[in-house]
Structure formats: structure tokens, C-alpha cells
Structure 1
Amino acid sequence: MNKYIPLFIALLGLITYDATAQKERKFIRNGNDLFEGNEYENSEVEYRKALDKKINSYEAGFNLGDALYKQKKYDEALKQYQALTVSEQDPKKLGDIYHNIGNTLLMNRKIDESIEAYKESLRHNPNSQETKYNLEYARRMKQKQEEEKKKQDQKQDQNKDQKDQNKKDQDKKDQNKQDQDKKDQDKKDQDKKDQENQENKPGDQDKKKGDPEEQESKISQQDANRLLEALENDEKQVQEKVQKAKAAAQKAKKTKITKDW
């Protein structure tokens, strides 16, 4: 009876493996149905269940990467695809894996790395038109990115040049203002000095007290007025005396005539 034990164990192992494989396939099918219905989060759960049943399942692992990619979990998807490249040997499958790695890197704006991934994909699967298209698309994105960077650098240089020019203009204005302020201050100082020098001149001091010629002119005029007034008074007195003399002579004449009659 003991001689039949190994055969029994082998059959039991085969039955167990077949049951596990069936469960793995069931989870993959469920995941695929959910994926087609755009239920990516639920499909992720099913693919993980399939991997629990068969950890090295290429289909479950690859589809899990797709489910993560569709949920925009790009970092997780990238790790999932990269893990598949470690043990996979089939060129066609490796081409598909690197193609999806390129897509994931492109979505993460890692354009240079995505270009290298597409090239690696074509090394394993050189006839893939889709990979060739994506490679060309990534190259155009890189070219556009470089052009935008060049424009941005030029704009920054222009802005820097403009700022430098504005600073020069402002410095020049400031310097001109300082020069003008200094000139104005120097002029004020000179005017003040000239005024002080003018006030300290002897002639100016005499003028302040009164110019002798001007004083002499004023005194002569006053004397002339007094003299004129005196003359007028004297003339008035003389006229009065003349009038009195005439009056007296007239009176004497009348008296004499009266006596002769």
C-alpha cells in the first residue's frame, strides 16, 4: 500500500494547482470585465487577488499596471511594470511592458526617460507601429519643451536686460538730481557769501548811515527852502513898509492942500 502514496500525493498536488490556477483565471476575468466597464479601482482589487493566487502571473501583473495607470497612479504603475521586467524573457511581452513604461513616464512629464523606454520597447518588438508613433510623439514633445525653454530663457534675459537698463536710468536720474542739488546748494552758498561781502563793504556801510553827498543835497535843499521863506517874509515886510510910506505921503499931501485954501 505504501508504494501508492507518492502517486496519490502527486495527483493531490496537481488537483490543488489546477484549482489555484482556476481561481487566478477567475479573478483575472473579473478584473478584465470591470476594467472594460471603466471600474478601474475594482479591477485593481481583482488583479491583486489573482496575484495572491499566483504571484508571478504575467497577465495579472500587467493588467494591474494598466488599472493603476488608468487611475493616474503613475508612480505605482511604473513600479508594477518595472517589476515585470526582472523575470520576463519573452521579447513580445517585454516590448509591451516597456511600451507601457514609456507611456507612464510620459504622463509624469519625464520625456527623456520615456523616449529611452520606447527605444527599449522597439529593441524587443521592432515592428510595433504604436510604439514608433509614441516615440515620435515624445520626441516632438521634447522639441517643443526645448523651444519653450529657449523662449523662456530669452524672456528672462530680456527682463534682466530691461531691469538693468531701468536701474541704470534710475541711477543716472539719481546722480543728475544729486548734481543739481549740489549746484543749487553751491549757488545758495555763493549768493549768501556775496551778500555778506556786499554788506561788509565800507561804501555800503556809509550808504546805510547815509551817503554824504545825499545828506549834503538834502541839507542844501532845506537851507534853500528856509532862505526862500525868509526872502518872502522880507519882501512882504518891505511891501508893507512901502504901502505905509505911500499912505503917509498921501495923507500929508491932503493936509497941505487943505491948509492952503
Structure 2
Amino acid sequence: MKNLILHLLLLFTFVANAQQKDKILPKANEEYAENNFVDAEADYRISNSKFPNKTVSTYNLGNAIYKQNQASEAKFAFAKALKTAKSRPQKHRAFHNLGNVFMKEKDYTQAVEAYKNALRNNPTDEETRYNYALAKKMLKENPPKDDKKDDKKDKKDDKKDDKKDKDKDKKDDKNNKDKEKKDDKGDKDKDKKDPKPNENGEPKPMPGGMSKERLENLLDAVNKEEKKVQDKVNANKVKGKPVKTEKDW
């Protein structure tokens, strides 16, 4: 991360001289110094398997992994180193680099806590103090989400949705009832306009006393009269047409 001060090499040189009986550890340190982090990681793992309670190999393993851009995996090595760390300098450096991991993961809340613990073990370290200030700044600019608030908001939204669904159901029921009433009214009006046979098989009278049958007969009669008139007009046209005669010579 830009402007983030790392303690990897500083701790590495500090702990490199701390173990003399472990023959694998010096070899791993040399590989680390040559930026051969893959081989260094392998040897640190061997050293750690032989001396599982030694903080140095576990911590340096975290450094080698971190250098390979595997911050999340390095986090577990630093956390394990903290469990076996006995001196304040070891705890300080482990917390410092653990804070670096959290910063890379953008977990600024945990980063602040890690740097704070590092300062508790070494209050005079300016590099840790700088990273601590940077972590607080990033946390202020990127506050974590309030899960409880989100849960309350989700529940509130669910209640709103339930209320909307209930209101919609009520509205649909009302619309259905209104439609049924309208349909019933429409059927009644239709019955008035389109009378059905009564019990005696006779058509019901239309409003104004005119039955449907009578109306149809009247329309039929009008059509017949119009046809008669049209026939007369056509006949007169034929009679009035002049007849061409031949000339007498």
C-alpha cells in the first residue's frame, strides 16, 4: 500500500541472529535477503516444523509469504507468531506487520487495533505510529457498514413490503368486488336492453312499451318501403328516356 511503512526486513535482520541451533533458519534468511521468497518460504516451513514453538521462523514465514503478495495467508503466520512471542520487540513487530496485512485487505478497523497493540509494546516506534495514523485516516474515510443498522433497515423494508402487499391485496379485493358489482349491474342493464323470454315464453317489453320483435318488424317495413320508392324512381328514369327515331327520306 502506498505510503505504508513495512517492518519486514527490520524484523528479519533482528531475528536472524536469534537462532543459532536451527541450521535451516540461516539458509532461509539468506534466500530471503536475495529476494528468493519461494525457497525462503519452503525453508521457513521446514524450520517451523522442527521448532514449532519458535517465534522467529513462524514470523519470518509470514514475511516471505507477504512478499509474494499473499497477504491473507501471511496473516495466519503472524497471528501464530503472536501466540508464541514472549518478548515485547517480537510482539511489536508481529502486530505491526499484522496491521500491514489488514491495511492491504482494506480492513481498517482491524488495522487500527493491530497498530495500537504494536505501539503498546513499543510506544516510541515512529514507523508504527505513522501507520497507525494512516489507518485511522483511512477508517474515517471508509467507515465500516453497521450490520445491525442494515438488519433493522432490512426488517423495516420487509415490513413496508408486507404492508404494500396487504394494501395491494385489499385494493385488488375491492376492485374485484367493484367489478363484480359492475358486472351484476351490467347484466341487469343488459337484461333491460336484451329482454329474455318470460316464463310464458313471450318476450319482455322494451322500455317505452316496444318489444324487440316489433322493432325488428318496423325496421323491416321501413326497408321494404325504401325499396319500393327506389324501384319507382328507377322506373321513371326508364320512361323519361328519349327514344331515337329514324329519319324519313
Tell me which protein shows more helix as a share of its residues. Answer: 1
CA separation of 1:199 and 1:54: change in aligned 2, threshold 3 A:
closer
Unaligned runs of 5+ in 1: 1-17, 211-261
Query: What residue in structure 1 maps to residue 231 of structure 2?
Result: none
Quote the residue 2:9 is aligned against. Answer: none
Deviation at 1:163, TM superposition (A): 5.6
Give the equivalent residue in structure 1 for 2:91. 94
1:82 aligns with 2:83: no
CA distance in 1, matches of 2:137, 2:119: 18
Give the equivalent residue in structure 1 for 2:185. Answer: 187
- Unaligned runs of at least 5 residues, structure 2: 1-18, 215-249
Give 3-state SS (helix, strand or coil) of 2:123's partner: coil
CA contact (8 A) 2:112 2:135 kept: yes
Give the structure-1-normalised TM-score.
0.50
1:246-261 alignment runs, 5 A limit: none
**3-state DSSP of counterpart to 1:89:** coil
Q: Aligned-pair distance for 1:69?
A: 1.9
Q: Which has the larger radius of gyration?
A: 1
Q: From 135, 146, 149, give the equivalent of 2:144.
A: 146
How far apart, in 2, do the equivalents of 1:209 and 1:19 lie?
Answer: 122
Structure possessing the higher relative contact order (Cα contacts under 8 Å, 6 or more residues apart)? 2
Whether 1:32 aligns to 2:33 is: yes
Q: 1:99 offset after TM fit, Å?
A: 0.9
- Normalising by structure 2, we get a TM-score of 0.52
Deviation at 1:97? 0.9
Give the whole-Å Cα distance in 2 for the aligned partners of 1:180 and 1:101: 69
Residue 124 of structure 1: how far off its partner (Å):
0.5
Distance across 2 between alignment mates of 1:45 and 1:208: 104
Worse overlay, 140-149 or 96-105: 140-149
Judged with a 3 Å threshold, the aligned counterparts in structure 2 of structure 1 residues 31 and 47 are, in CA distance, closer, same or farther, namely farther
Inter-CA distance 173–53: structure 2 relative to 1 (3 Å threshold): closer
CA distance in 2, matches of 1:81, 1:207: 101
Q: 1:28 to 1:175 in 2, by over 3 A?
A: same
| Residue 71 in structure 1 maps to residue 68 in structure 2 | yes
Number of equivalenced pairs: 188
Whole-Å Cα distance in 2 between the matches of residues 172 and 51 of structure 1?
70
Distance in 2 (alpha carbons) for counterparts of 1:149 and 1:50: 42
Structure 2 counterpart SS, 1:146: coil
1:164–1:129 distance in 2 versus 1, CA, 3 Å: farther
| Aligned residue identity for 2:144 | E
- Report the aligned-residue RMSD: 4.7
Q: 1:67 to 1:26 in 2, by over 3 A?
A: closer
